[in-house]
Amino acid sequence: MKQTKRVVSIVAVLAILVLSFCSCSSQNAAPPGVRPEFKEAVDSYEGFFDEYCSFMERYTKSENPLGMMNEYLNFLSRYQTMLQKFSAIANTDMNEAEALYYQRAYERIMRKISGYVS
């Protein structure tokens, strides 16, 4: 009985490791039909908003929000740059796979920032 539980535990751990490895490697590869440069731009855009949400979380809990003004201004500057880069690729003709990839990323971004936008 003990040996069976041990084997089941080992198999479960291996399954988790395999699944986590597979999901990590597939996140780096562009889905079929999505240009790698398009994926990189969308992922970069989403990554920026992940950082922004992390900042806003710290900001809302801060006892000195004015002390975070320089960091906030840095985000505004980076946002302008991000918009320019993203607009350059988003204004190209998207195929169906790219439109879907963008839509899903946009939906995730909107869910993340909805708590910080009034």
Q: What is the pLDDT along the chain (118 residues), one digit of tens a residue?
A: 554 344 333 433 333 333 333 333 345 788 999 999 899 989 999 999 999 999 999 988 999 989 999 999 998 999 998 888 888 877 788 999 999 999 999 999 999 988 877 6
pLDDT of residue 92: 80
How long a stretch of residues is the chain? 118
pLDDT of residue 18: 32
pLDDT of residue 118: 61
Do 94 and 88 form a contact (C-beta atoms < 8 A)?
no
Spatial separation of the C-alpha atoms in residues 113 and 118, rounded to whole Å: 10
Spatial separation of the C-alpha atoms in residues 22 and 55, rounded to whole Å: 30
Spatial separation of the C-alpha atoms in residues 117 and 52, rounded to whole Å: 12
How many CB atoms neighbour CB 19 within 10 A? Answer: 10
